[in-house]
Amino acid sequence: MTATTSSPAAAEGRGRSAGRPAERPGQRRTRHRELRGALLFLSPWIVGFLVFTLWPVLYSGYLSLTDYDVLTDPEFVGLENYERMAQDDDVRLALWNTFYYTVLHVPLLVILSLALALLLNQAGRSAGFFRTAFFLPKMTPPVAVGVLLLLLFNGQGGLVNEVLGWFGIDGPNWTTDPAWVKPGIVLMSLWAIGSSVIILLAALRSVPQELYDSARVDGAGFWQRTLRITLPMISGPIFFIVVVNTIASFQTFTEAYTAFFGSGNTTYSNDAALFYVIYLFRQAFEFLDMGYASALAWLLFVIILLVTLVQLRVSRRFVFYEGEDR
């Protein structure tokens, strides 16, 4: 292989254009080889993209304009599904529940994982042990987390209320009282923050030590160093965690579905845990209202997109990237 292949411009085959020497046969063969190789290796993704992404996106858009129950052909109904959504009290409820959960879950997750990462960063040799312990819950299948939620937060003898009892607090019925269902789910969700802690710890470890050394010489204390150096230096990863977890929390499903909704012949449900994707899932696969569910999916997409864009905009004021002038 000749050296020309390592230059993208040469391989892109503009060899014959003005100002460039004509392409030699060998070069053309190389270019051909590169393209053939690329097509061979990219073919799984190309097929997958067309069949499992592009077509589903387009077809989902079409389905959202139809009435479709899988058994009979989709019937075109225009914007009816979207009009129905606007009047559906359950959609409003599901959106409210989902926002409530996100607004509570994401900030708590960030604050707690930051606190734990800062502690771990001070832990010296034993950090590895604690890091492992913190990550363990992340390996628990979400369906089992749903079960743990029912058990630990149980109003009748659950561990959480027993611990609260030690401090003289009479714990609520977390799993049945509509006012306490969502806070309970949020608290349980915080059990699995291990990967955020690991990401932030990695970020903390990559802050240059010189910055701290010179701050110390200037007489800055622990809090000042944390506020003036640490937080700005890891604002990128913090922002990343905020965005990724906001998106994930809009799509929260398994834990709440396991704990608060019966599938199949069972009908148990608790409206306080009706998150958006749970509502969408039930419309699609329990009531076979695929057209309506597709419209719901598009609303979710638009909401996530808007929220992410707002976060990106706001972050410009707070997030500091290395090498950037401020």
Partner 1 sequence: MSVNVGAAGSADATRVESLGLAAVVQETGGLPPQRRPRLTVGRVLVLAALGVATLIFVYPFVWLLSASFKPRGEVFDNKLIPDTFTVENYLNVWQEAPMALWLLNTVIVTVLAAVTVTISSAMVAWGFSYFRFRGREALFGLVLATMMLPGAVTMIPTFLIWNSLGQVGTLTPLWAGNLFGSAFYIFLMRQFFQGLPRDPFEAATLDGANNWTLFWKIALPLTRPAVVVTLLFELQAAWTDLMRPLIYLRDSSTFTIPRGLKSLVDQYGFGGEWHWEIIVTASVITTVPMIIIFFLGQRHFIEGIATTGAKG
Binding test (CB under 8 A) with partner 1, winner from 98, 146, 175, 252: 146
- Tell which one of 143, 169, 306, 310 touches partner 1 (CB under 8 A): 143
Q: What whole-number distance in Å separates Cα of residue 1 and Cα of residue 21?
A: 19
Give the C-alpha distances (Å, rounded to integers) separating 134 from 267, 271, 294.
36, 32, 38
Name the one range near partner 1 by CB under 8 A: 20-28, 75-83, 174-182, 191-199.
191-199
Which distant-in-sequence residues (6+ apart) come within 8 Å of 92 by Cβ?
Answer: none
By beta-carbon proximity to partner 1, the closer residue of 80 and 270 is 270
User: Does 130 contact partner 1 by CB under 8 A?
Assistant: yes
- 198 lies in the site for partner 1, by CB under 8 A: yes
Q: Is 60 in the site for partner 1 (CB under 8 A)?
A: yes
In sequence order, the 6+-apart residues with CB closer than 8 A to the CB of 70 are 288, 290
- Per CB under 8 A, contacts with partner 1 among 85-124 are 116, 119-120, 122-124
Q: How far is the CB of 87 from partner 1 (least distance, A)?
A: 21
Residue 82: how many CA atoms within 13 Å on its side-chain side? Answer: 11
Residue 263 found at the interface with partner 1 (CB under 8 A): yes
- DSSP of 36-94: HHHHHHHHHHHHHHIIIIIHHHHHHHHHTTEE--SSS--EE-TTHHHHHHHH-HHHHHH
- 82 makes contact with partner 1 (CB under 8 A): no
Q: Least distance (Å) from partner 1 to the CB of residue 146?
A: 8
Cβ atoms of 175 and 146 closer than 8 Å: no
Strand pairing of 66-67 and 75-76?
Answer: antiparallel
Question: By CB under 8 A, is residue 293 in contact with partner 1?
Answer: yes
Closer residue to partner 1 in complex, CB, 183/236:
236
229 binds partner 1 (CB under 8 A): no
49 is a contact residue toward partner 1 (CB under 8 A)? yes
